[in-house]
């Protein structure tokens, strides 16, 4: 089963009739990188920001959409409603170095905190 980034890339490549080489050229990244991201079942770590930016350019997609798909391919599930990407980047960078089991613990913690936040009473005036 394809991961989120593979699915996104496959939809875009098939929909536009593009090759890995065309995406790489437009994005200014190596063809081998595009091929690797499109064919690796599970990414071990999140690609470098410059790689994601190039991939987004090459696929003509918003960077946030590509970044989210790449994070999910690494086992990191982001909520786009939580924080701007600039605040989340250091967290993502740290979490990607954890083992799969530890990432599951972090995900459970985040879900618990979000649930607690959603259920807590709001201070007056907010």
* pLDDT tens digits, one per residue of 15-52: 999 999 999 999 999 999 999 999 987 788 889 999 99
Higher-confidence residue of 99 and 123: namely: 99
- pLDDT at site 97: 65
What band does 66 get if pLDDT is binned at 50, 70 and 90? very high
- pLDDT at site 15: 92
Q: What is the pTM of this model?
A: 0.62
Tokens of 97: 């170095």
- pLDDT at site 83: 45
**Helix/strand/coil for 94:** helix
* pLDDT tens digits, one per residue of 93-113: 666 667 778 878 887 888 888
Tokens of 100: 């799969």
Dihedral sign of CA atoms 30, 34, 39, 40 in order: positive
Domains within the chain, CATH numbers bracketed:
4-119 (1.10.260)
């Amino acid at each position: 089963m394809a991961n989120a980034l593979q699915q996104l890339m496959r939809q875009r490549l098939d929909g536009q009739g593009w090759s890995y080489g065309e995406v790489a050229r437009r994005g200014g990244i190596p063809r081998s990188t595009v091929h690797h991201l499109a064919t690796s079942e599970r990414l071990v770590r999140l690609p470098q920001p410059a790689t994601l930016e190039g991939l987004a350019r090459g696929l003509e997609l918003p960077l946030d959409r590509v970044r989210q798909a790449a994070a999910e391919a690494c086992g990191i599930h982001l909520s786009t409603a939580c924080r701007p990407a600039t605040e989340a980047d250091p967290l993502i960078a740290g979490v990607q170095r954890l083992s799969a089991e530890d990432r599951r613990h972090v995900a459970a913690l985040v879900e618990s905190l979000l649930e607690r936040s959603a259920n807590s009473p709001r201070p007056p005036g907010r």
